Amino acid sequence: MTATWPLGLYTALVLVLACAMLAASYVLGQRHRELSTDKPYEAGAAPTGGAQLRFSVGFYVIAVAFVVFDLEAVFLFAWAVAASELGWPGYVAAMSFIGTLVCALLYLWRRHALDWGPSARHTAAETI
């Protein structure tokens, strides 16, 4: 119990500071309602169309694949930093991880989830 009191004190101070900043913003902030206040602003460009755009499912498939293969690089970098301490068991684990990701890439390739050009044989809706 004696070793955890600094963590509790730090948590309490962070909460007090966050509440104080929110209260100061509420008290000192401006309150005005103008016509332009409720309009969306995007880097100086006037908004066009509605905010509810419908994207093809293929965009989400590509986004998820990007996240998976981007995190792969993070995990493999961490493995590369500690490779000498991990030894052969770490090497086997990394190779099985890479093998799993190669299988995922082959699956995406066979499902034509990566075909986005005009010569794509399947539509994005069929990649699900």
Longest dimension (CA), the chain: 67
Helices (H), ranges, the chain: 5-28, 57-81, 83-110
Instruction: Please state the length of the chain.
Output: 128
Bridge partners of residue 42, in order along the sequence:
45
CA distance 19 to 89: 48
pLDDT of residue 63: 85
Pick the closest to residue 122 from 107, 109, 103 (CA basis). 109
* pLDDT tens sequence for the chain (128 residues): 578 899 999 999 999 999 999 999 999 988 877 777 777 666 667 667 666 777 777 788 888 888 888 888 888 998 999 989 999 999 999 999 999 999 988 998 898 887 776 665 555 455 55
List the structure tokens of 74. 């993070």
pLDDT of residue 11: 96
